[in-house]
Structure 1
Amino acid sequence: MRVQREAELVEAVRAAAGPVQVRGGGTRPVGAGAGEVLEVGISGITLYEPAALTLVAGAGTPLAEVQAVLAAEGQRLAFEPADWGPVLGAAGSSTLGGVVAANVSGPRRVQAGACRDSLIGVRFVDGRGELVKNGGRVMKNVTGYDLVKLMAGSWGTLGVLSEVSFKLLPVAPAQAVLVLPELTAGAAVPALSAALASPYDVTGAGWLPGVGALVRLEGLAQSVAYRAAQLTGALAGFGRVEAGDPALFDDLARVSPFIGQAGDLWRFSVAPSAAPGIIARLGCPVVLDWGGGLIWALLPEGVDARGRAAPYRGHATRMRGGQGPAFEPEAAPVAALSARLRAEFDPRGILNPGRMG
């Protein structure tokens, strides 16, 4: 079933006799699904005020369409979302609602925050079929449930998004990328941590196989040139430093080295200091982002990445392939809280049941 208006979405959820699989563009097929597919096609930018750095759009609006409109005005979504469809082997077009539902956040998260930090308003339909609105066109304090933050990363288990609102940022006029090509993934983490701890306002820090460690600086041209020179000297103790192509961060955001590669794809969110040990225990190809705090790992089909990486503190999600729960099992107190939230927002248990459990 595909809905293209908010009223249709309300009626579809109210009329649902059993479980529904909520879907936007279908580019993030993570976790188990059951029931009839409910595809959200509520598309279009309903408000864009460049001077106020604010955008409101239907949840089914293609991400690429929004990025093109913003680019024409020299603006962007601060959190640098990427289309994971190619690396997850999924056809379709990434949508804004899907980005919010998965809290998709790219390399710039280390400086600008995650998707939920730029999200300022949502409209969604809960499991009762009731329309809920929270937030607005400006950032403000909230009391009770902060539903804007709660919906980001809920993977459609608490409600079906119909509209989302974002604060925006201007595109930086200049950028520079530094590459340390001699570093392995594990050895790159201390260098990335040093770059992020420096006073040079790093907006991206990762590692790509066959390329090396990557560090990005953005801002006014003179400032970028000065900071790049200073950071080059500061990082020289870790190995050779050379200039890189800014497009490397597009590859990092899209996890391009693993597109079309066979195997199960896993995503670990951990403390960067723990990353070298986890990488060594995994013993497989990896891509690093967020200074080593995000590890994309490509393992043979059926291999339990959590068992191989243990012990670790953090979250491991099987993004592609395999059997069993895709998401990290929650600790008992967290699981109890999650269950209470789902019972509050979806008492019938029809929205993406079992996807995150």
Structure 2
Amino acid sequence: MAAMDPALAQLTDRIRAAAADGHRLRIRGAGTKDFYGESPQGELLATGALTGITSYEPSELVVTARAGTPLAELEAALAACGQCLPFEPPRFGPSGTGTVGGMIAAGLCGPARASVGAVRDYVLGATLVNGRGEVLAFGGQVMKNVAGYDISRLLAGSLGTLGLIAEVSLKVLPIAPAEATLRFECTQSDALRLLNGWGAQPLPLNASRWSEQDATGALWLRLRGAVAAVDAACRHLGGERQPDAQAQPDWQAARDQRLPWFGIPGAHSLWRLSVPQTAPAIDFETAPLLEWHGAQRWYLASANQGARLRAAARTAGGHATLFRIADGASQAARSVPRFDALSAPLARIHRALLREFDPHAVFDHARLLGAD
């Protein structure tokens, strides 16, 4: 049997010791998403030593990387071969762009998610260290490799509660040969109507966003695909085509939440509503920023407005997340649960999974599920 990688062996030993001593660990990559979920608890277990792209087959559209590999390093390697992560994982924080393990654990996606799929749709396999200190491998490096439960995809969005993600294999795609961004001045309701109508047509839709600026609403629509398909869609849709030199940085800013809209003023926090694309505009004091063809809606709201947003999201058939709390927010704001409460059946499934993967509660379960 091949010897275990020294960095992985050291982390595994710490997990086993924590299980034996009753200590709690919080897994951390670059820390760019420390704000997401409930406040992290436990001793730090850093993945920074688990770095490197261990396998990359451009012709097979598959890459394998260790958890601590900087996302920027992975994306640069893919770009050099004309490929990309289509779901555009957000990169937060001025000090770095996050890690591959953090990308999977958070399960967050950028502007293209509604058209290309989520993080979990691109996870082919993973190596995980569970709460017993066992190194487990799931999936593989091909698409049709799953028999039974697809555990590797279950890790997407688990926030480190099931174990330490040591390595992950991902499906990648070629960069689209053509791209164009169109701008339309319209209200929120008109934007939703247009997006719903376009979604029923054979158009190379890739991403959209709507927001108000200086009391004027505008919808930005990104097209990606074959040159002929993008050019034909531009002629069919109309709108004002944006220069690539302006549009592409704006989409990157939207992906990383660096648009001016995301500046959090005063005591207002950032709320994320996930609703059906066809849900009508929600009546609220301030206008949101819409993404994912209307399925993701961002609101700036104070702590005492959160209940209204959660009720509105449930009425629309979705849920609301307190995504980011403003600096200097009150204690009342900090005590609001980050995630909506799970239904009783889903809560039972979550806790059963936690018992199976982490029976000694080594990892920070409260990050995802809140305090018991």
Q: Is the 8 Å Cα contact of residues 178 and 243 (structure 1) preserved in structure 2? A: yes
Count of paired positions: 338
Gaps of 5+ in 2: 326-332
Whole-angstrom CA distance in 2 between matches of 1:308 and 1:317: 9
Q: Which moved more, 1:156-165 or 1:268-277?
A: 268-277
Q: Is the 8 Å Cα contact of residues 53 and 65 (structure 2) preserved in structure 1? A: yes
Q: Is the 8 Å Cα contact of residues 275 and 293 (structure 1) preserved in structure 2? A: no
Helix, strand or coil at the partner of 1:132:
strand
Aligned residue number for residue 353 of structure 2: 341
Q: Is the 8 Å Cα contact of residues 206 and 213 (structure 1) preserved in structure 2? A: yes
Per-residue CA deviations over 1:237-295 (Å, capped at 9, x if unaligned) read xxxx2112233322322222344433211111111222512xx23x2342211111001
Aligned residue number for residue 39 of structure 1: 46
Whole-angstrom CA distance in 2 between matches of 1:213 and 1:166: 32
Tell me the CA shift for residue 92 of structure 1.
4.3
Aligned residue number for residue 197 of structure 2: 194
Helix, strand or coil at the partner of 1:271:
coil
Aligned residue number for residue 305 of structure 1: 306
Whole-angstrom CA distance in 2 between matches of 1:274 and 1:186: 10
Tell me the CA shift for residue 143 of structure 1.
2.5
Aligned residue number for residue 79 of structure 1: 87
Whole-angstrom CA distance in 1 between matches of 2:53 and 2:203: 36
Tell me the CA shift for residue 169 of structure 1.
0.6
Matched, 1:320 2:316: no
Whole-angstrom CA distance in 1 between matches of 2:209 and 2:47: 34
Aligned residue number for residue 105 of structure 2: 101
Aligned residue number for residue 277 of structure 2: 272
Aligned residue number for residue 235 of structure 1: none
Matched, 1:48 2:56: yes
- The structure 1 residue matched to 2:260, chosen from 257, 261, 266, is 257
Amino acid at match of 1:354: A
Give matches, 1:16-27, under 5 Å. Answer: 16=18, 17=21, 18-27=23-32
Whole-angstrom CA distance in 2 between matches of 1:356 and 1:275: 29
Helix, strand or coil at the partner of 2:279:
helix
Q: Is the 8 Å Cα contact of residues 189 and 275 (structure 1) preserved in structure 2? A: yes
Query: Which TM-score applies when normalising by structure 2?
Result: 0.86
Tell me the CA shift for residue 304 of structure 1.
4.0
The alignment-based identity, stated in percent, is 39
Helix, strand or coil at the partner of 1:336:
helix
Whole-angstrom CA distance in 2 between matches of 1:20 and 1:186: 46
Amino acid at match of 1:132: L
Aligned residue number for residue 119 of structure 2: 115
Aligned residue number for residue 236 of structure 1: none
Whole-angstrom CA distance in 1 between matches of 2:357 and 2:270: 31
What root-mean-square deviation, in Å, do the aligned CA atoms of Structure 1 and Structure 2 show?
1.9
Whole-angstrom CA distance in 2 between matches of 1:346 and 1:304: 36
- The structure 1 residue matched to 2:66, chosen from 49, 52, 58, is 58
Aligned residue number for residue 157 of structure 1: 161
Aligned residue number for residue 207 of structure 2: 204
Aligned residue number for residue 328 of structure 2: none
- The structure 1 residue matched to 2:293, chosen from 291, 297, 300, is 291
Query: Which TM-score applies when normalising by structure 1?
Result: 0.89
Q: Is the 8 Å Cα contact of residues 209 and 257 (structure 1) preserved in structure 2? A: no
